[in-house]
């Protein structure tokens, strides 16, 4: 059923082709403020090489790239690919860090830090001014990152608690995986790609930025998730292909009054609402679901040639070289004839090589290409091979494209005065994703008695906005199972009323 994986050119060959080939070399990456054509990259890479050498530091170790959604960020990423450097790809937290208190994270095994701060990229006269290369002060050579064929790209996996954890996957595998996306969507050099999704996360990097390079397209990385900025950039850049989040698709539907057909629009990151899918196509063009992860890259995607019925209801079918299966679960999942449902597992040659985990020291936990990878999602596989993603199988959901672990939310809610225990469940849908309801057991002695409003307000100081429960319910008793554990199914029913 699955076809063999595709083989893409390596980074240096790809960048040489883009810089040299007529018809491609004038294509460019832009953010509206700065534009760099592929032809210009050759000279800019040489200057970055020079800066890198001048910075000093130990050669042959990974570098950390703190990237931002900008032409400068894209340029730094292109240089890393062209020079086959091991890289830990991270978001630049400069401004966000002050607001959210998320500390800057540079793994100790990185010998250099390349920073493309968003604020600096906006203020710079030229993109090169926004790229800073420095030696990493806290550098410690780690055996855990040595001895790989590489070059590798490390991504921090989502998750709001736990130990720092990075997936490791070679540049080549990312490129091979991206080539399967080019094939599925029929991307050509004449397409103009709008990429508001971060090029330093798996979706934007693996399914938008790299496929764009492999096809030789021009790309706009200037808008980010802000729908107003998106509309401004759309007007200026005139894209015919867009990579959106379900939230952005939803915003298109809510705020836009006129038709603006795209050749195709890809969406990923969350399960999209059926109403959004159905309302979107007549106004903005074919909407294609993509399913993937930091560990597996792009896994399954719809194609513009699929019948609308398949497109609207599924995440397409597996990309070249990818096998998908489902494993039985205890949940009673409804299936039609020929359908299989359960926990989705994935096997392919172009997946991650394993995890780097920090628990005191960095250690590498390898993953074999022949192993089945548990995606953590529930899915249905139809008789014709189309895949329908049903949602997370564990105690977590995606909201605003980010993982929300129920345990973290429960901990925050339980800090409110007068609450003994909180259980968070998903019930219904909101624009951010599944609707979060915190069902709270109150302390009968508490004076004054806690109110849902006060509890919810206290969450704003403890949790990022996307993790604040949409509703708080206070109960006198939590339903339990015979084992004494809380009965989440009963609580879900309670939350839905």
Partner 1 sequence: MQQDEVLAGIKHIVAEDLDLNLAYDKLDETTPLFEGGLSLDSVILVELISFIEKRFGIELRDDVLNMETFRDLRSVAQVVREHMAQQA
Interface with partner 1 by CB under 8 A: which residues? 95, 99, 225-229, 231-232, 247-248, 250-251, 254-258, 400, 431-432, 457, 460, 465
Task: List all residues 6 or more positions away from 301 whose beta carbon is below 8 Å from its beta carbon.
Answer: 181, 184, 185, 207, 266, 288, 289, 290, 291, 315, 316, 319
- Comparing CB distances to partner 1, the nearer of 30 and 176 is 30
Q: How far is the CB of 383 from partner 1 (least distance, A)?
A: 37
Q: Any idea which residue has 């309801």 for tokens?
A: 437
For partner 1, which is the closer residue by CB, 231 or 441?
231
Residue 363 or 457 having the CB closest to partner 1? 457
Q: How far is the CB of 390 from partner 1 (least distance, A)?
A: 23
CA distance 439 to 404: 16
**251 or 299, CB closer to partner 1?**
251
Contacts of 494 by beta carbon, 8 Å cutoff, 6+ apart: 439, 473, 475, 479
The token pair at 387 is 């895949």
Which residue, 15 or 463, is less far from partner 1 as judged by CB?
463
Query: How near is the Cβ of 491 to partner 1 at its closest, in Å?
Result: 23
| Closest distance to partner 1 from the beta carbon of 255 (Å) | 5
Minimum gap (Å) between residue 460 Cβ and partner 1 = 5
CB of 129 to partner 1, least distance (A): 21
Give backbone dihedrals phi and psi of 220, rounded to 5 degrees, phi first: -115, 120
CA distance 297 to 307: 25
Partners of 373 in beta bridges: 346
Q: How far is the CB of 228 from partner 1 (least distance, A)?
A: 5
Half-sphere exposure of 332 (CA within 13 A, CB side): 1
Closest separation between CB of residue 463 and partner 1, Å?
A: 12
Residue number with CB closer to partner 1 (95 or 493): 95
The residue (of 211 and 469) whose beta carbon lies closer to partner 1 is 469
Kindly report the number of other CB atoms within 10 A of residue 338's CB atom: 9
Task: Using the minimum distance from each CB to partner 1, give the nearer residue, 377 or 400.
Answer: 400
Beta-carbon contacts of residue 238 (< 8 Å; ≥ 6 apart)? 192
Residue labelled with tokens 């991307």:
187
Which residues does 411 contact at the CB level (< 8 Å), separation at least 6? none
Distance CA 301, CA 266 (A): 9
């Amino acid at each position: 059923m699955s076809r063999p994986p595709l083989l893409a050119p390596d980074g240096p060959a790809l960048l040489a082709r883009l810089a040299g080939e007529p018809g491609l070399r004038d294509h460019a990456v832009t953010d509206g403020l700065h534009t760099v054509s592929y032809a210009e990259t050759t000279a800019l890479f040489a200057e970055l090489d020079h800066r890198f050498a001048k910075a000093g530091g130990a050669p042959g170790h990974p570098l950390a790239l703190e990237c931002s959604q900008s032409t400068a960020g894209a340029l730094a990423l292109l240089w890393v690919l062209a020079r086959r450097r091991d890289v830990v790809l991270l978001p630049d937290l400069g401004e966000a860090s002050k607001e959210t208190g998320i500390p800057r994270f540079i793994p100790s095994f990185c010998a250099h830090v390349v920073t493309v701060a968003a604020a600096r990229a906006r203020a710079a006269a030229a993109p090169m001014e926004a790229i800073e290369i420095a030696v990493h002060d806290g550098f410690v050579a780690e055996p855990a990152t040595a001895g790989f064929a590489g070059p590798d790209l490390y991504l921090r996996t989502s998750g709001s608690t736990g130990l720092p954890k990075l997936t490791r996957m070679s540049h080549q595998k990312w490129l091979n995986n991206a080539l399967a996306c080019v094939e599925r969507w029929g991307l050509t050099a004449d397409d103009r790609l709008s990429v508001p999704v971060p090029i330093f996360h798996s979706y934007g990097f693996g399914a938008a930025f790299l496929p764009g390079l492999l096809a030789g397209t021009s790309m706009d990385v200037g808008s980010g998730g802000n729908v107003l900025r998106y509309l401004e950039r759309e007007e200026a850049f005139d894209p015919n292909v867009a990579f959106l989040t379900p939230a952005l698709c939803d915003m298109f539907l809510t705020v836009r009054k006129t038709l603006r057909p795209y050749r195709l629009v890809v969406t990923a990151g969350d399960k999209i609402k059926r109403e959004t899918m159905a309302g979107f196509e007549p106004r903005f063009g074919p909407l294609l679901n993509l399913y993937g992860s930091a560990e597996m890259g792009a896994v399954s995607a719809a194609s513009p040639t699929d019948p609308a019925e398949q497109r609207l209801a599924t995440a397409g079918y597996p990309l070249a070289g990818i096998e998908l299966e489902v494993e039985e679960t205890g949940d009673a999942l409804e299936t039609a004839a020929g359908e299989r449902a359960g926990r989705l597992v994935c096997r392919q040659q172009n997946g991650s090589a394993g995890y780097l985990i920090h628990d005191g020291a960095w250690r590498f936990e390898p993953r074999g290409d022949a192993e089945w990878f548990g995606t953590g999602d529930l899915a249905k596989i139809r008789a014709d091979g189309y895949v329908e993603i049903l949602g997370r199988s564990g105690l977590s959901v995606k909201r605003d494209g980010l993982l929300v672990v129920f345990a973290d939310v429960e901990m925050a809610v339980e800090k409110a005065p007068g609450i003994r225990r909180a259980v968070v469940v998903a019930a219904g849908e909101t624009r951010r994703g599944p609707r979060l309801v915190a069902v709270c057991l109150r302390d009968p002695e508490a004076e004054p008695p806690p109110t849902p409003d006060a509890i919810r307000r206290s969450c704003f100081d403890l949790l990022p906005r996307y993790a604040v429960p949409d509703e708080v319910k206070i109960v006198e008793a939590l339903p339990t199972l015979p084992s004494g554990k809380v009965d989440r199914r009963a609580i879900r029913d309670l939350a839905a009323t």
